[in-house]
Amino acid sequence: IGTGNFTQGVPAFWFARGVGHGSAENLYTPYAESAWVRSAIQKISGPVSSCEVLFSRPSQAKVRRRAAAGLRQLSTARGIIYRAADELLDLPQITEWLKEPVRDLDYQSFVEASIGWLKMAECFWVLVDAAARVPFPEASRNPYGQIVIPNPARMRPTLADGEIIQWTLTRIGGKTVNLDPSQVVRLRGWNPYDDHRGLGDYRAAHIAAEADWLAGKFSRNLMANNGDTSRIISVKGGSVDDKQRAQLIAEFKARRQASLRGESRDVVVGGDVELINAELASVDDGYIQQRIENRHEIYNAFGVPMSMADIKASYSIGSASDMFQLLINTCIPSGAKFCGALEKLILVLTGERVEVGLNWDEHPCMQEVRKERLDSIAKLAAQGMPMEEINEYLALGLVKYPGWDIGYMPVNQSPVLNADGEVNPAPTPGDFSEPVGDDGGQPGPLNDGSDTPADGDAPEVKAMLAALRAATIQERGSATRSNAKNEKLWRAHMQLRSKSVKMYQSKCSKLFLQYRATALRHLEHARKSATLQPQSSILSRSLVDVLFDPTMFKHDIAKTLDPVTQATLQTAGEELLAEIGRKDDPWKMAPQQVKAFIASRENLIKGVGDTAFNQLKTSITAGVDAGETTEELAARVRSVFNHLQNFEARRIAMTETSAAYG
């Protein structure tokens, strides 16, 4: 470090050697001699070099666009940006130049060298011959000269008033080249100890890298010595003179050379001399564990997940994988610095300002993460979240389609609050807490000392049993007793019937929801018609006739429930034959009797249409008389159909199931 306006560059060992750089036991070239340093750099540079480089004009928009269909997500020096296809620039000369920006180095090696020096210390891109351009550059595929990526130790800055006014490059051979700051583009990290030089990740990993390197040398030397099986010569009868010692050493050296050639050579030693073979030695578990910790420390310093230094049986690439953490925490930020430096370099070469970005979306790991996001669509949509919000929340970039701003709920769910803001009860399908009609198979009074339903019973059976117990005890008292066998049989019957009850109620609920949606659409259409034609008021005719057609509803509900009734009759017949032991006798319904039964039930079912019409008419009339708005009338429509869905559908389901089984 100099004084005044001149600052001497740091020596080479500042980033590549230990403090005792004169010793032979220091790691001088870590990228060449440390497998883990080299591996860490390649794990970072590999994904960066594999990403597509895209160019665009710098955006002046103050509001950043979000992910949408047709937009490319690019990682730049200023963060994530989104660009449409027509906003991307085609720079054929720069694209051609990037194929070999450095002499004898392709693009992948260029990225590896840039990221490598960035992680080791700092990276310099030097335009030594910046003015040297081919004649007629506009007609050339690549008019730009190649750059140089020098060793940072060979770059020395000259300062004036705290600013760099010149760089001096010491080339191999000792020749120096003075460079204008515009000829130098740098990739560097924050250095709290020097405002003008970068600080790489290797400085923090140097001790661990050197320790691992020395441990490797120790293991190598240990193996080499044991392979030689050297001997110890012990003279018991006295000492030998220098001439005898030299003869013995020469004999054993000759024997060693012969053994290396695969020849057997005997050595004859006279006098009272004893030969002692060296014992074999090997590294212990503590040595191996220390080397593992060293490689973990190296990876940690470079920002690579430490688990990637261990042996794995399988590799994953999803959002919970080590690869995803490497990309998010290290590769993408390093790639952003690379893009920022490339923007400066293109400005020097072409005089144009462009924005450089890497398209990480095409990386296999990012594609797997996007696949996981797609799996989340069903979960969010089931909660009523519109696809428009899902697309924005998950940054999916889906194409807009009609109706994607509408959320939907499953048909078997109802709002917690009704139109009046009161709690809206939503009983489970098949709730038998109310009378179910002519059941035809209820057991006698129950008084066997057990008032608790069995744990295996369905909720419908438990509700039916509780209601039946209360009614029987009240009417007949607790003096009578029931047959335990009949009660068990009755439990089994009710358990089987619950499936048909749920089927009936599900079909009815869906039909009521469909008619509710139709009524709301007709109400909105009537409002618009009245607005466009004030002289024809919607009060001049029956609004309920517009919203609900009872004749069509009677037809639809009969058509909807007929297949359910046939399936219920078939199931009931099969259960009956199985109960009486006639499993080999298949149940076959007589067509005429089935048709007659369905016809007899249709008249009762069709009465539901009149019930719905009357309820809707009463509510709408009250709203019209009160002068309510269209939104308030729509709330009345929802309230009526919610009541039909929750209670009328349940009543139909219990009644029809009971009649079919009876």
Query: Over 90: is that where the pLDDT of 430 sits?
Result: no
Which tops the pLDDT comparison, 436 or 561? Answer: 561
Residue type, position 248, single letter: L
pLDDT greater than 90 at residue 475: no
Q: What is the mean pLDDT of residues 36-58?
A: 94
Q: Rounded mean pLDDT of 397-420?
A: 67
Q: What is the pLDDT at residue 532?
A: 39
pLDDT at 418: 47
Higher pLDDT, 316 or 30: 30
Residues in CB range of 243: below 8 A, 6 or more apart: none
The residue-averaged pLDDT of 271-276 equals: 66
Most confident range (mean pLDDT) of 339-353, 389-403, 623-637 is: 339-353
For the range 245-250, what are the long-range contacts, defined as Cβ-Cβ under 8 Å and sequence gap of 24 or more?
248/273
207 has pLDDT over 80? yes
Phi, psi of 55 (to 5 degrees): -115, 145
389, pLDDT greater than 60: yes
Decide which of 589 and 133 is more confident.
589
Question: What single-letter DSSP state applies at residue 72?
Answer: E
**Most confident of the ranges 187-196, 405-414, 536-545:** 187-196
Per-residue pLDDT, 471: 55
pLDDT on residue 651: 83
Q: How confident is the model at residue 8 (pLDDT cuts 50, 70, 90)?
A: very low
Average pLDDT over residues 226-254: 71
pLDDT confidence band for 478 (50 / 70 / 90): very low
**What average pLDDT does this structure show over 323-347?**
94
Confidence label for 399 from pLDDT (cuts 50, 70 and 90): confident
**Where residue 69 falls among pLDDT bands split at 50, 70, 90?**
low
Stretch 13-37: mean pLDDT, rounded?
Answer: 69
Q: What are the structure tokens assigned to 232, written together?
A: 């110890």
pLDDT of amino acid 185:
95
Average pLDDT, integer, range 389-402 = 82
Is residue 118 within 8 Å of residue 200, measured between CB atoms?
yes
For the ranges 142-151, 277-286, 317-326, 437-446, which has the lowest average pLDDT?
437-446
The full length of the chain comes to 662
Query: pLDDT band at residue 165, thresholds of 50, 70 and 90?
Result: very high
Reported confidence tier of residue 70, pLDDT bands at 50, 70, 90: confident
Q: What is the mean pLDDT of the chain?
A: 77
Residue 512 is predicted with a pLDDT of 86
Does 107 have pLDDT greater than 60?
Answer: yes
Cα–chain center distance at 69 = 19
Contact (CB, 8 A) for 427 and 650:
yes
Structure tokens at 386: 């519109």
Rounded to two decimals, the pTM is 0.56
Of the pLDDT bands very low, low, confident and very high (cuts 50, 70, 90), residue 367 is confident
* DSSP annotation of 1: -
Residue 215: pLDDT band with limits 50, 70, 90: very high
Most confident of 87-96, 491-500, 565-574: 87-96
pLDDT attached to residue 332:
95
* pLDDT value of residue 156: 95
Q: Which of 9-23, 313-327, 428-442 has the highest mean pLDDT?
A: 313-327
More confident residue, 20 or 54: 54
Q: What is the DSSP letter of 399?
A: P
Q: What's the Cα-to-Cα distance from 304 to each of 38, 180, 364, rounded to whole Å?
A: 12, 36, 18
pLDDT at res. 480 = 46
pLDDT in the model for residue 112: 96
Q: What is the mean pLDDT of residues 523-552?
A: 64
Rounded CA gap, 216 and 460, in Å?
Answer: 73
Average pLDDT over residues 184-194: 94
| pLDDT, tens digit, 9 for 90 and up, residues 151-160 | 999 999 999 9
Return d(Cα 108, Cα 89) in angstroms, integer.
Answer: 22
Query: For residue 519, which amino acid is it?
Result: A
For residue 557, pLDDT beyond 70 = yes
Higher model confidence: residue 111 or residue 616? 111
The number of helix segments (H) and strand segments (E) in the chain equals: 20, 12
Q: Which of the four pLDDT bands, split at 50, 70 and 90, describes residue 428?
A: very low
Predicted local confidence at residue 615, as pLDDT:
84
User: Which H or E element spans position 55?
Assistant: strand 52-56
pLDDT of residue 436: 37
Band of the pLDDT at 387, cuts 50, 70, 90? confident
How confident is the model over 61-76, as a mean pLDDT?
Answer: 70
- pLDDT band of 427, cuts 50, 70, 90: very low
Please say if the pLDDT value at position 444 is more than 70: no
What tokens were used for 141? Answer: 């595929």
> Above 90 in pLDDT, residue 40?
yes
In percent, how much of the chain has pLDDT > 90?
A: 29
Arithmetic mean of pLDDT, 102-113: 94
Q: Where are the beta strands (DSSP E) in 127-255?
A: 155-160, 163-170, 176-179, 184-187, 231-235
Give, in degrees to the nearest 5, the angle at Cα 426 between 424 and 431. Answer: 140
More confident residue, 440 or 137: 137
Q: In whole angstroms, give the CA distance from residue 259 to residue 243.
A: 25
282: Cα separation from own chain's centroid = 46
What is the band of 441 on the pLDDT scale with cuts at 50, 70, 90?
very low
CB atoms within 10 A of CB 192: 6
Question: What does the block give as tokens for 316?
Answer: 């994953």
Show Cβ contacts of residue 176 under 8 Å, excluding neighbours closer than 6 positions: 168, 169, 170
Phi, psi of 110, deg, nearest 5: -65, -45
pLDDT at 266 over 80: no
* pLDDT class of 454 with cuts at 50, 70, 90: low
pLDDT of residue 521: 85
Question: What DSSP element (H or E) covers 277?
Answer: strand 273-277
> Is residue 326 scored above 50 in pLDDT?
yes
| Strand stretches in 188-272, DSSP E | 231-235
Q: How confident is the model at residue 229 (pLDDT cuts 50, 70, 90)?
A: low
- Compute the distance between CA of residue 265 and CA of residue 258 in angstroms, rounded to an integer: 7
CA-to-CA separations, 389 to 80, 84, 319, 380, 507, in angstroms, rounded: 20, 21, 22, 10, 30
- Among 53-62, 349-358, 510-519, name the one with the lowest average pLDDT: 53-62
